[in-house]
Structure 1
């Protein structure tokens, strides 16, 4: 791997600071993105074939590793030999191994399109829906964040012509809107049984990281985030006039009481509470605490998977710090 000639260290570090100030909101955006990726048939087929995230334990392992890798990118200096660099090398190698395996099984391979759609999962909602997530952002922050993911995409093997992130906020936003409007929204409006099975595994696995997660609440939240038809939570929503609110209410009422409660908490926290500094500080610190607990003493995972299987580590052989 080599840093691209257009790499800007100042922008990259600004994006890291931006994440630190909005960790709670941005982690929620990434969770919605990971869930949305499961709606892409080519990616879902590969995940089912590899059996790497099709049950709660494998999902716990896979997605916790994903969290640790991304936190590493956001926290560490990006240079050859650093933990962040080793993490990106490991991810890139993992993609190659998985792609070869699924090709042999005739289940397809990890294409540039799949990698670009996965890139959207990590940053698309944060750029397009900061108001729904409660991300406190400026235009300069967005430019830095886009540069960050342009660099990450380049280093994990996305060719520049397929990279959703460009050197311009305007062109990047156009690309992201196109992906959401033409790919993700139609797919999320027509999700099937395989999607629900994998989504349940994802949420049940990450329940050990955040016990307030609920599959049906998060699926609704993701479809609401994606502006899917009839997924309108508030009557004051600007999109409310475009749909039958009775249909929207029926979708919500079809959820059990606990899912409705978690959905209410999620929407209230992200659209209202997180806009206040005190709540934002509290929620961000809860994420930091959860990160430490899941790394050093994952007691909820002890209960679900046993002590030995609960400890997840990346970058074996290197000196690891918090969350890695």
Structure 2
């Protein structure tokens, strides 16, 4: 049964319940970019540079060393009630939120060359089998952040916050002790070379039309930086967990949400970001809901889309590993070609050549997914069914994870780009 509200819709498409409507005035004026005067375009460019300069300032700020100190000095803005509501929302829309996090990995791989090289060097997700184990474990960690009290020491969620923080710190310290290992990730056949790059030629034809944005400024800075766990990169990673679901909710089956729902969802990830070592200045979830949405849209427009102009063979390889690894424990999930095509539609990118390459039936699959997310997922019964499917896959994967027979079968699967 669909939830019904007697409410207004705000400019971002979220339902405003009675408590949301009081004093709401976002202060924005709408305009058509296509007909914007030169001064408006110049103002937008200046704003892009200003926002990017602030983000890049985080490159100079390292992650903290001590998780216990972070926990003991929690800021006053952390609200246990909002946090619990945010957890409930993320669980209620688990299927759609999880899908947004998967395709966000394609975004994160494209945004940071250093981050991608570091990921390759950890040797934990550069084949489909390794990606399956890594991202299954990640999904289980995230689930504990949603199902347990992360503010209570000793809970599974709290211990996983500590675990992930220490893992990041360990990789960061190793990278600074042995920088030569990370300048260019070591090559091994079929893992970092990305020799089978089926899509890149057509993608490059399509993305050449995308404006370059601020990527040159970002790339120049990145050349002189080795820290993949600076405030800048932590903030970008944090965006991957909630940004797409926030800006494009209907594309990921998230419907009938109030502003308070989304504020709580952002608060959840703002809090988790804090425990991962993000300062308030660089936390992607800081500010009002409108500010976070605006910041997320800016990142997509000024950084993500332009970065797609420079996709590499390593990007395609690691992205394929994610999709094929996911299909090892969630068989009906979308293959890489289809899921990336769907992401391009989300971003309203013209990928005519790419769509010709993937073929008719995969285009039909993209269309069906769009219809399913935008319309069928409006029904609570469908949403709950899809949540149950994902939770069922995770439950089965938990049993299979330590089953030697199953693991041997999965490990022996052959992929032509990993031969």
TM-score (norm 1): 0.83
From the superposition, tell whether residues 262 and 162 of structure 1 become closer, same or farther in structure 2 (CA, over 3 Å).
Answer: same
Aligned to 2:233: 114
Aligned to 1:177: 297
Q: What's the offset of the Cα at 1:270?
A: 1.2
Aligned to 1:197: 317
State whether residues 344 and 350 of structure 2, in contact with CA within 8 Å, keep that contact through their aligned partners in structure 1: no
The 5-angstrom pairing of residues 132-211 of structure 1 reads 132-136=251-255, 137-211=257-331
State whether residues 110 and 308 of structure 2, in contact with CA within 8 Å, keep that contact through their aligned partners in structure 1: yes
1:254 aligned counterpart, secondary structure: helix
In 2, the alpha carbon distance for the partners of 1:162 and 1:99 equals 18
- Count of paired positions: 288
In 2, the alpha carbon distance for the partners of 1:58 and 1:128 equals 31
State whether residues 203 and 214 of structure 1, in contact with CA within 8 Å, keep that contact through their aligned partners in structure 2: yes
2:85 aligned counterpart, secondary structure: helix
State whether residues 105 and 319 of structure 2, in contact with CA within 8 Å, keep that contact through their aligned partners in structure 1: no
The 5-angstrom pairing of residues 299-314 of structure 1 reads 301=407, 303-305=409-411
The 5-angstrom pairing of residues 242-253 of structure 1 reads 248=352, 250-253=353-356
Q: What's the offset of the Cα at 1:192?
A: 1.8
State whether residues 53 and 201 of structure 1, in contact with CA within 8 Å, keep that contact through their aligned partners in structure 2: yes
In 1, the alpha carbon distance for the partners of 2:308 and 2:103 equals 11
Aligned to 2:31: none
From the superposition, tell whether residues 5 and 302 of structure 1 become closer, same or farther in structure 2 (CA, over 3 Å).
Answer: farther
State whether residues 47 and 53 of structure 1, in contact with CA within 8 Å, keep that contact through their aligned partners in structure 2: yes
The 5-angstrom pairing of residues 254-273 of structure 1 reads 254-257=357-360, 259-273=362-376
In 2, the alpha carbon distance for the partners of 1:216 and 1:297 equals 27
Q: What's the offset of the Cα at 1:154?
A: 0.4
Q: Hey, which bits of structure 1, 4+ residues long, moved more than 3 A?
A: 256-262, 297-302
Aligned to 1:105: 179
> CA deviation digits over 1:169-198, x for unaligned, max 9?
122112212211111121134322111010
Aligned to 1:230: 350
Matching of residue 80 in structure 1 with residue 153 in structure 2: yes
User: Unpaired runs of 5+ in structure 1?
Assistant: 232-247, 307-324
Aligned to 1:234: none
In 2, the alpha carbon distance for the partners of 1:24 and 1:262 equals 18
Among 32, 55, 76, the residue aligned to 2:103 = 32
Aligned to 1:60: 132
Aligned to 1:219: 340
In 1, the alpha carbon distance for the partners of 2:179 and 2:327 equals 31
From the superposition, tell whether residues 255 and 89 of structure 1 become closer, same or farther in structure 2 (CA, over 3 Å).
Answer: same
State whether residues 125 and 225 of structure 1, in contact with CA within 8 Å, keep that contact through their aligned partners in structure 2: no
Q: What's the offset of the Cα at 1:260?
A: 3.2
> CA deviation digits over 1:272-291, x for unaligned, max 9?
22112222121111111111
In 2, the alpha carbon distance for the partners of 1:4 and 1:211 equals 42
Q: What's the offset of the Cα at 1:199?
A: 0.5
> CA deviation digits over 1:226-283, x for unaligned, max 9?
33x304xxxxxxxxxxxxxxxx3x4322104553354234222212221122221211
Among 85, 105, 126, the residue aligned to 1:14 = 85
Aligned to 1:321: none
Structure of greater Rg: 2
**CA root-mean-square deviation:** 1.9
Aligned to 2:389: 286
272-281 or 90-99, larger mean C-alpha shift = 272-281
2:110 aligned counterpart, secondary structure: coil
State whether residues 86 and 261 of structure 2, in contact with CA within 8 Å, keep that contact through their aligned partners in structure 1: yes
